[in-house]
Amino acid sequence: MIPKLSLLDLATVGRDQPISEALADTVTLAQRADDLGAFERLWFAEHHNMSSIASAATSVLIAHVASQTRRIRVGSGGVMLPNHSPLVIAEQFGTLAELHPGRIDLGLGRAPGTDGATLRALRTDPRAAEAFPQDVRELQGYLADESTVEGIHAYPGRGTRVPLYILGSSLFGAQLAAAYGLPYAFASHFAPDALEQAVRVYRERFTPSEQLQQPHVIAALNVIAADDSAEAAEARDRVLRARVRMLAGRVGSGGLDEEMVTALLDTHVGAQARHMLTHTVAGDAAEVAQGLADFAALSDADELMVTNPAPLLPQRIRTLEILAGLDGNGS
């Protein structure tokens, strides 16, 4: 059985692609997903100083995509809360909730979403992550009827009760989501190691809350669906090569040609890229359906968050169409 399906879009920018075109592609994909009606929510992630990702101004992108769609929920997967004041995030997402009632999610992460130098450019204290549990509580208060900070309220924001989700790739997020009675989303699309343990801890320790009475697990994976298995395999290979290029670029190896990328595939960089893509399903409709069902069983997930990394827009659109047509799709 395939659980409910949702989407994570990184607003990917291709090599030599204008950012404006990449953002237009993001809207096109969102509208197709909305029209298909098979996906619960569409999330965007906060990343900074990454030339291949255009979702840095996450709330701005959410606002635009929500205005261009009708039904699908739109939100963050996630906002890196240590980079921001909880009050400002409450105001931003409160505004979104007033503009698009019943359609906005707020997923929260503890990591900075960038490197140390960029963190300094963001004027963020590296120790800010230590206050993440307190910041989540403060944010909850701003979005509820009564703030936990005397005399301070979020306008807009107050009373909107935008649903919160805790994102993570370790036991910390699982424990916090369980203690606060919030849904838990695991970033297994690039950090597979602690998935099963984190989900088990979350379910065992979950405490019901006003927002959520039963535990709710979202597990992320990469999916490339095509009409032909060979086409999907070729796209998967291109995704792997792009991941190698990204990892090498982080250590100053930018401007890699294809021959250099091929050489790196047999190094620790290639091994790291393959490991990050552990939970990737690529194939035709039958193969993808089986892969999703297997991953759902492994992860014990109530909902699957699908990233759509195929390199070409028509391939990403076709992936959405194949996913929407699968038997047993819980959406």
Among 18-27, 116-125, 132-141, 226-235, whose mean pLDDT is lowest?
116-125
pLDDT tens digits for 178-190? 999 999 999 999 9
Q: Which residues of 169-192 are buried (b: 16+ CB within 10 A; e: fewer)?
A: bbebbbbbbbebbbbbbbbbbbbb
Domain membership flag for residue 237? no
Residue at 27 is within a domain = yes
pLDDT at 160 over 70: yes
- Domain-embedded: residue 268: no
Q: What is the rounded CA–CA span in Å between residue 172 and residue 320? A: 32
235, part of any domain: no
> What is the CATH classification number for the domain harbouring 91?
3.20.20.30
Residue 94 belongs to a domain = yes
Range of the domain at 44: 4-227+279-324
- The whole-number pLDDT of residue 114 equals 73
Report the number of distinct structural domains present in the chain.
1
Residue 158 above 80 pLDDT? yes
Instruction: Give residue-wise pLDDT tens across range 238-259.
Output: 999 999 988 887 554 456 888 9
pLDDT tens digits for 43-101? 999 999 988 899 999 999 999 999 999 999 999 999 999 999 999 999 999 999 999 99
Return d(Cα 167, Cα 219) in angstroms, integer.
10
Euclidean distance between the first and the last CA atom of the chain, given in angstroms as a whole number: 12
Q: At residue 32, what is the residue type?
A: R
Task: State residue 146 phi and psi, 5-degree precision.
Answer: -135, 125
Question: Does 207 fall in a domain?
Answer: yes
Write the DSSP symbol of residue 297. Answer: H
**Is position 211 within any domain?**
yes
The string over 31-62, giving b where at least 16 C-beta atoms fall within 10 Å of a residue's C-beta and e elsewhere, is ebbbebebbbbbbbbbbbebebbbbbebbebb
Least confident range from 15-19, 103-107, 192-196, 223-227: namely 15-19
Q: Is residue 241 part of a domain?
A: no
The answer to whether the CB of 218 falls within 8 A of the CB of 303 is yes
pTM of this structure: 0.95
Distance (Å, whole) CA 65 – CA 76? 12
Inter-residue contact 90 to 76 (CB < 8 Å): no
